[in-house]
Structure 1
Amino acid sequence: MKRVVLAITACLLLLSVTVLVAGNWLWQRWQQPIGLPVEGYPLIVESGDTLRGVAEELTEAGVLEDPWMLRFYARLKALDDQIKRGEYLLHPPLTQSSLLRQLVDGDIVTYQVTIPEGLTLAQALTVLARDPVLVPELTGARDQRLLELAQGAATAEGLFLPETYRFERGDSDWQIMQRAHVALKQTLDAAWADRDAGLPYESPYEALVMASIVERETGVPGERREIAGVFVRRIMKNMRLQTDPTVIYGLGEGFDGNLRRTHLRDDSNPYNTYRHKGLPPTPIALPGRAAIEAAMHPLPGETLFFVARGDGSHQFSITLEAHEEAVRKYQLSRRSDYRSSPPPSSDPNTNR
């Protein structure tokens, strides 16, 4: 009997040691870094992909040696059906445990695209179309989906906030524009609620039109409110805005870079603010937050005119006589390095 007890005890002890050794081995294998290359391993999980499929791909690529451990642990923790779709870049060192956590958390690769301030809608769509990762869906500025966002306006121009947007592989230009439209609406609504009293705008949309003109007239931050003030005072005095960017926008693709007197005399161009009083029918560009704020809080004063100095800034005048003198000084005797806008910036949000 004692021999039987000793034999059973010895077997149990041996089994315990075996389990302990096996458990320790499994734990070490579980915590051991998987075989990732130094530069990392790109992994794309599509919608509907399973953990089993992901484990098989990684095994075939030589990244995983014990895929069954990953599947077993994930099932034990009820995580096998919780992995997120997207593009991953698996960086060493990474264990199977941290790999599973990354897949469940959706720690994926993200990208970003910047829509600079002052672009037209068509130009902004070109920026998105050139992005190598974004999926192209939109057919242009007249795409029906964009026009539906305009809610009755003639075009969707100006209805998207120029910003930097982050996205994932598989996202489309249409998704970016939807986000940009929501951001613009939120920004415009908040600015409209906090606008100065007595402004000559009947709606937030008219304020947006003004902001787009301010955006196209200057890239100098300190001038935005003063330019908005000039235009507001001109409207309130029943004066024409007489701003070149609106005329150029109305010319569209027919503009060759040279604004002529015939353009300024053209009554058929609804954006010709030299011939038509008040604001143009739609925005002429995508205004940024600063331009929208300037339109809502124009700088008080008496100035009614301004002219480009040639270095990107402007000379403001109260009287027509002073303005004509400034025109003779800065326009009729242009220096060789004359610029009507600021020099290009490395910041895509300010480069116009």
Structure 2
Amino acid sequence: MARFRRYILIVTVLLAVLAGLGAGGYRWYKAWQEDKFLTTPPETPGREILFRVEPGQIFTTIAANLKAEGLITDTRRFYGLAVRTGKGSAVRAGVFRLSTGWVPERVLTELTSSSGVLRRVSVREGLTWWQTGGIIEEAGLGDAKGFAAAVADPALLAAHGIEARDAEGYLFPETYLLTPPKDHPSRHMAEVMIREFLKNAQKVWPQGLPPFEELHRTVILASLVEKETGDVTERARIAGVFRNRLKKHMLMQCDPTVIYGLGPNFDGNLRKSDLQDRDNPYNTYVHPGLPPGPICSPGLDSLLAAAHPEEHGYLYFVAKGDGSHQFSKTLEEHNRAVRRYQIRRDRSNYRSTRQ
């Protein structure tokens, strides 16, 4: 009996030892798998892959997509890595340039700390919406046709409080650096530019935007100022000229408005017949007051000038050929300035903007 008991005890101890060895071995195997996951890239050498994270996409979906692309080998362990490092909710939406030759931590760092693949587009002041659409298409941030549809979309305009037929004047000129969304990139670009306008408008009206009718008139005036001068120091003065002409019910007689009304097919030659065309609603040589809408995208300086015109008695201005203008209070003074700076000008060194 005693011998049997010793036998049972020995077997029990052996089983316990084996169990301990098995558990330890299993833990070692799991630790080895974890270490291998963390330190071994999926492929060597790696392949570059453009990986997109959609706005609002949950982490488990992102991890599954990473595995499907061959960028990680284990979704559960990748999720565990994100939890341990506190980055589970820090993944950004966008397009990222990743590699199958990276270890998981580098993939996670790229998704949570970089801005992804960004495209750059510079839209200068004074462009029309169709010129802007062409630039956006060249930059790969949309297409001109989609942009044309977006800027005239009643739903988009209403969403931003623009009570006009299109977003002309409200597409703020700026250098944009962003990742285009997979769907409707042209519309996204239009919305980004409108939001940028509204942000900058707060600098013009820090106490809050005025009613839309007043806002729209200011944007129209600012677009005329933008097209008439590249000299920031003169913009408030030119805005004052336009305001004085409006007060006296004088025709604005602004060439850029006529050109805008001729549309994208304008050939660069403004003819006398164009200045007499009553069918052009933007012809301020025959139609009194401001044109029916903005004629370009004005920058912040022109918006500030239009909102705060200079107080003076000038009613006319003419380009002097050095980028500045000669201002006059009477028609007689203006005619003398025209003869001096336009009719008798030296065409060899004449320029419309300061250098």
Inter-CA distance 30–265: structure 2 relative to 1 (3 Å threshold): same
Tell me, yes or no, if the aligned pair for 2:236 and 2:310 is still in contact at 8 Å.
yes
Inter-CA distance 12–155: structure 2 relative to 1 (3 Å threshold): closer
Tell me whether 1:11 sits opposite 2:24 in the alignment: no
Residue matched to 1:326: 337
How far apart, CA to CA, are the structure 1 residues paired with 2:228 and 2:154?
A: 26
- My pick for the range that moved more, 74-83 or 231-240, is 74-83
Counterpart code for 1:132: G
Counterpart code for 1:336: S
Tell me, yes or no, if the aligned pair for 2:157 and 2:166 is still in contact at 8 Å.
no
Indicate which of 113, 131, 140 corresponds to 2:121: 113
- My pick for the range that moved more, 76-85 or 1-10, is 76-85
Residue matched to 2:193: 180
Indicate which of 222, 236, 248 corresponds to 1:211: 222
Tell me, yes or no, if the aligned pair for 1:211 and 1:294 is still in contact at 8 Å.
yes
Deviation of the 1:244 alpha carbon: 1.2
Tell me, yes or no, if the aligned pair for 2:133 and 2:143 is still in contact at 8 Å.
no
Tell me, yes or no, if the aligned pair for 1:30 and 1:97 is still in contact at 8 Å.
no
Indicate which of 143, 153, 163 corresponds to 1:145: 153
Structure number with greater CO (CA < 8 Å, separation at least 6) is: 1
Counterpart code for 2:117: V
Output one character per residue of 1:14-62: Cα deviation in whole Å (capped at 9) or x when no partner: 446535643553343233152475884333467896634531431xxxx
How far apart, CA to CA, are the structure 2 residues paired with 1:18 and 1:172?
A: 54
Tell me, yes or no, if the aligned pair for 2:220 and 2:291 is still in contact at 8 Å.
yes
Residue matched to 1:258: 269
Indicate which of 286, 291, 300 corresponds to 1:280: 291
How far apart, CA to CA, are the structure 1 residues paired with 2:336 and 2:96?
A: 62
How far apart, CA to CA, are the structure 2 residues paired with 1:131 and 1:239?
A: 42
Gaps of 5+ in 2: 1-5
Indicate which of 64, 67, 81 corresponds to 1:55: 67
Output one character per residue of 1:309-349: Cα deviation in whole Å (capped at 9) or x when no partner: 22333233334343333322321123224222456xxxxxx
Deviation of the 1:231 alpha carbon: 1.2
Indicate which of 7, 21, 42 corresponds to 2:50: 42
Tell me, yes or no, if the aligned pair for 1:83 and 1:106 is still in contact at 8 Å.
no
Gaps of 5+ in 1: 196-200, 344-352
Deviation of the 1:241 alpha carbon: 1.9
Residue matched to 1:198: none
Deviation of the 1:259 alpha carbon: 2.1
Tell me, yes or no, if the aligned pair for 1:85 and 1:106 is still in contact at 8 Å.
no
Larger radius of gyration: 2
Deviation of the 1:203 alpha carbon: 1.6
Tell me whether 1:336 sits opposite 2:348 in the alignment: yes
Deviation of the 1:131 alpha carbon: 3.3
Tell me whether 1:220 sits opposite 2:227 in the alignment: no
Tell me whether 1:95 sits opposite 2:107 in the alignment: no
- SS of the residue corresponding to residue 241 of structure 2 reads helix
Q: If the length of structure 2 is used for normalisation, what is the TM-score?
A: 0.75
Residue matched to 1:349: none
How far apart, CA to CA, are the structure 2 residues paired with 1:10 and 1:174?
A: 68
Residue matched to 2:282: 271
Residue matched to 1:122: 130
- SS of the residue corresponding to residue 327 of structure 2 reads strand
Tell me, yes or no, if the aligned pair for 1:147 and 1:155 is still in contact at 8 Å.
no
- SS of the residue corresponding to residue 109 of structure 1 reads coil
How far apart, CA to CA, are the structure 2 residues paired with 1:337 and 1:147?
A: 49
Residue matched to 2:169: 158
How far apart, CA to CA, are the structure 1 residues paired with 2:291 and 2:229?
A: 18
Deviation of the 1:211 alpha carbon: 0.6
- SS of the residue corresponding to residue 148 of structure 2 reads coil
- My pick for the range that moved more, 316-325 or 327-336, is 316-325
Residue matched to 2:3: none
- My pick for the range that moved more, 3-12 or 113-122, is 3-12
Inter-CA distance 7–82: structure 2 relative to 1 (3 Å threshold): same
Residue matched to 1:347: none
Pairing of 1:272-311 with structure 2 (within 5 A): 272-311=283-322
Deviation of the 1:142 alpha carbon: 9.0
Counterpart code for 1:284: I
Residue matched to 1:312: 323
How far apart, CA to CA, are the structure 1 residues paired with 2:166 and 2:63?
A: 46
How far apart, CA to CA, are the structure 2 residues paired with 1:80 and 1:53?
A: 15
How far apart, CA to CA, are the structure 2 residues paired with 1:142 and 1:8?
A: 75
Pairing of 1:229-244 with structure 2 (within 5 A): 229-244=240-255
Inter-CA distance 24–102: structure 2 relative to 1 (3 Å threshold): same
